[in-house]
């Protein structure tokens, strides 16, 4: 019997995951990617001998034995040979006197450290540790999409949440900023505030700490690009066809059914039995589907960014000609001067170095990154519209400012700067077609927990959505799962067993 053909649009994590899962179910698979390399937002770029890692800062499912690890294993991204680095301490804060305070992977050590800092916060510290424990081992369901779960599956998934419901609700009810205020100690507040974007619901911080204190959420040796290139290799080995530099202009719909795609370069029509877009949702709805389909779920979200914030980033990367391996991997501090980025003043800045991995820098040198959350795409857009020079100058100002801050906190970097690279939300828009440069889907803020989207569009058959946008808050694991779930939805249509 002739194989059914699936076209996937986009070779990010989600598109490649969809492609690999579809090949494992014996479909004929083609992926069309507009860029000249795979990975989408999971990427790195090479400058002056350094590899600037533009993505993985912690990977959920890096721990063997977790259900997400099996998904990464199926995708070829992780195997027994992949080295994972679990940085301990998780994060550090250095005060004006040069004293350093830590959050550790060992939850007992963290408790001791916080008690050392502020015994008068004992009650709140106990509560903090209690909530972290509640978040340990919490993972999204990875086996199948929600609508395919029976009562038993639902119970299995929901049971741990029900047991911890009160703690979960508490963590979702207030922002990181408000949560930090519960501590009397300014040092503890600063440690927490520098760990997670402050407007997010505190569950984001507890989720991260729950992971990191159980040996999950590690760094992958070799970084983001090699991670995704292993998926590309797996896709190729299974017989998938990948077309790079192939921008998809639109999706062809005939009689309410997706039947193919048209490429932007030459208008070529390519037919298939199923189409799986694994791209930015705004681009899909308003460009590839020509704004013809009303989806209240997305319309609501795209029209209210206060309730459904989209996060982008300003990523400042600095290559230094010295080994910073003796310094904590992640160090937050109060800058000596005002650090204003995109109209926002940052009270704390965090330097993360990559000295643990030779893949990122020439021998004996170190790559350092400052990653600033950015919610103000319009600021960058206006600046760029004003003039190319103004945009370039602002990037230079930010870069120089952070070099000088780095030199203050790590004096051994003085006079040893070899590389300075600044990426803004416009960079992520330009390279990944990401709406407002967003690198995650809609984020959870206090009192507004995100819901998954169902993965299909009413009025279009044979179109199954992948990509992080159907599973907010987004991120690498949900991108991979959304790809797998899109294929399981196709399997259901074809009466194929959905189990992997």
41 binds ligand FAD (CB under 6 A): yes
Contacts 24+ apart (CB under 8 A), 147-153: 147/454, 148/488, 148/492, 148/498
134 binds ligand FAD (CB under 6 A): no
475 binds ligand FAD (CB under 6 A): yes
429 binds ligand FAD (CB under 6 A): no
315-344 footprint of ligand FAD as x/- string (CB under 6 A): x-----------------------------
241 binds ligand FAD (CB under 6 A): no
11 binds ligand FAD (CB under 6 A): yes
23 binds ligand FAD (CB under 6 A): no
Site for ligand FAD in 478-497 (CB under 6 A): 479
The binder of ligand FAD chosen from 7, 22, 55, 443 (CB under 6 A): 55
Compute the least distance from the CB of residue 11 to ligand FAD, in Å: 5
350 binds ligand FAD (CB under 6 A): no
426 binds ligand FAD (CB under 6 A): no
CB 335 within 8 A of CB 361: no
Compute the least distance from the CB of residue 151 to ligand FAD, in Å: 30
CB 235 within 8 A of CB 77: no
Q: Which is nearer to ligand FAD, 51 or 280 (CB)?
A: 280
302 binds ligand FAD (CB under 6 A): no
425 binds ligand FAD (CB under 6 A): no
Query: SS in 3 state form for the chain?
Result: CCCCEEEEECCEHHHHHHHHHHHHCCCEEEEECCCCCCECCCCEEEECCEEEECCCCCECCCCCCCHHHHHHHHCCCCCCCCCEECCCCCEEEECCCCCEEEECCCHHHHHHHHHHHCHHHHHHHHHHHHHHHHHCCCCCCCCCCHHHCCHHHHHHHHHHHHHCHHHHHHHHHCEHHHHHCCCCCHHHHHHHHCCCCCCCECHHHHHHHHHHCCCCCEEECCHHHHHHHHHHHHHHHCCCEEECCCCEEEEEEECCEEEEEEECCCCCEEECCEEEECCCHHHHHHHHCCCCCCCHHHHHHHCCCCCCCCCEEEEEEEEECCCCCCCCCEEEECCCCCEEECCEEECCEEEEECCCCHHHCCCCCEEEEEEEEECCHHHHHHHHHHCHHHHHHHHHHHHHHHHHHHHHHCHHHCCCEEEEEEECHHHHHHHHCCHHHCCCCCCCECCECCCCCCCCECCEECECCCCHHHCCCCCHHHHHHHHHHHHHHHHHHCCCCCCC
The binder of ligand FAD chosen from 313, 317, 361, 365 (CB under 6 A): 313
Site for ligand FAD in 263-282 (CB under 6 A): 278-280
Number of residues that bind ligand FAD (CB under 6 A): 42
Q: Which is nearer to ligand FAD, 101 or 428 (CB)?
A: 428
The binder of ligand FAD chosen from 34, 74, 110, 259 (CB under 6 A): 34
Q: Which is nearer to ligand FAD, 18 or 114 (CB)?
A: 18
Q: Which is nearer to ligand FAD, 188 or 479 (CB)?
A: 479
54 binds ligand FAD (CB under 6 A): yes
Candidates 409, 396, 397; CA nearest to 351 is 409
The binder of ligand FAD chosen from 171, 211, 310, 434 (CB under 6 A): 434
Compute the least distance from the CB of residue 423 to ligand FAD, in Å: 8
360 binds ligand FAD (CB under 6 A): no
The binder of ligand FAD chosen from 7, 9, 463, 465 (CB under 6 A): 9
Q: Which is nearer to ligand FAD, 191 or 440 (CB)?
A: 440
Q: Which is nearer to ligand FAD, 174 or 199 (CB)?
A: 199
474 binds ligand FAD (CB under 6 A): yes
Residues within the interface to ligand FAD (CB under 6 A): 9-15, 32-35, 40-42, 54-59, 247-248, 278-280, 283, 313, 315, 371, 428, 432-434, 439-440, 467-468, 474-477, 479
């Amino acid at each position: 019997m002739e194989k059914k053909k699936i076209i996937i649009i986009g070779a990010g994590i989600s598109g490649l995951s969809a492609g690999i899962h579809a090949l494992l179910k014996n479909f004929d698979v083609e992926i069309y990617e507009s860029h000249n390399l795979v990975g989408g937002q999971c990427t790195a770029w090479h400058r002056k001998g350094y590899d600037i890692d533009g993505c993985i800062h912690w990977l959920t499912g890096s721990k063997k034995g977790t259900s997400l690890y099996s998904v990464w294993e199926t995708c070829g991204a992780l195997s027994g040979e992949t080295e994972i680095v679990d940085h301990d301490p998780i994060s550090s804060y250095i005060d004006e006197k040069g004293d350093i305070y830590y959050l550790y992977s060992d939850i007992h050590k963290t408790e001791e450290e916080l008690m050392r800092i502020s015994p008068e916060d004992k009650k709140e510290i106990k509560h903090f540790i209690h909530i972290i424990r509640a978040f340990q081992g919490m993972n999204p369901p990875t086996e199948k999409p929600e609508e395919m779960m029976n009562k038993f599956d639902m119970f299995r998934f929901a049971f741990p949440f029900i047991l911890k419901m009160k703690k979960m609700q508490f963590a979702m009810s207030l922002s990181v900023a408000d949560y930090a205020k519960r501590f009397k100690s300014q040092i503890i507040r600063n440690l927490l505030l520098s760990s997670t974007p402050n407007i997010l619901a505190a569950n984001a911080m507890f989720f991260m700490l729950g992971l990191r204190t159980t040996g999950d959420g590690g760094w992958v040796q070799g970084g983001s690009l090699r991670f995704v290139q292993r998926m590309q290799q797996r896709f190729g080995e299974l017989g998938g066809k990948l077309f790079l530099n192939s921008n998809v202009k639109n999706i062809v719909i005939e009689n309410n059914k997706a039947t193919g795609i048209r490429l932007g370069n030459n208008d070529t029509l390519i037919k298939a039995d199923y189409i799986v877009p694994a791209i930015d949702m705004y681009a899909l709805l308003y460009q590839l589907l020509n704004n013809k389909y009303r989806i209240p779920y997305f319309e609501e979200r795209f029209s209210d960014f206060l309730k459904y914030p989209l996060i982008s980033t300003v990523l400042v990367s600095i290559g230094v000609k010295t080994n910073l391996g003796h310094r904590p991997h992640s160090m937050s501090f109060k800058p000596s001067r005002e650090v204003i980025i995109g109209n926002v003043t940052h009270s704390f800045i965090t330097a993360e170095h990559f000295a643990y991995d030779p893949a990122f820098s020439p021998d004996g040198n170190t790559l350092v990154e400052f990653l600033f959350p950015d919610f103000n795409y319009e600021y960058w857009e206006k600046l760029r519209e004003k003039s190319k020079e103004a945009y370039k100058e602002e990037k230079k100002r930010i870069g120089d400012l952070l070099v000088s801050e780095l030199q203050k906190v790590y004096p051994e970097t003085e006079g040893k700067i070899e590389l300075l690279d600044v990426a803004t939300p416009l960079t992520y828009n330009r390279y990944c077609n990401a709406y407002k440069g967003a690198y995650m889907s809609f984020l959870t803020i206090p009192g507004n927990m995100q819901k998954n989207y169902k993965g299909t569009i009413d009025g279009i058959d044979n179109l199954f959505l992948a990509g992080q946008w159907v599973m907010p808050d987004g991120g690498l694991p949900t991108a991979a799962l959304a790809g797998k779930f899109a294929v399981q939805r196709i399997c259901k249509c074809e009466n194929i067993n959905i189990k992997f």
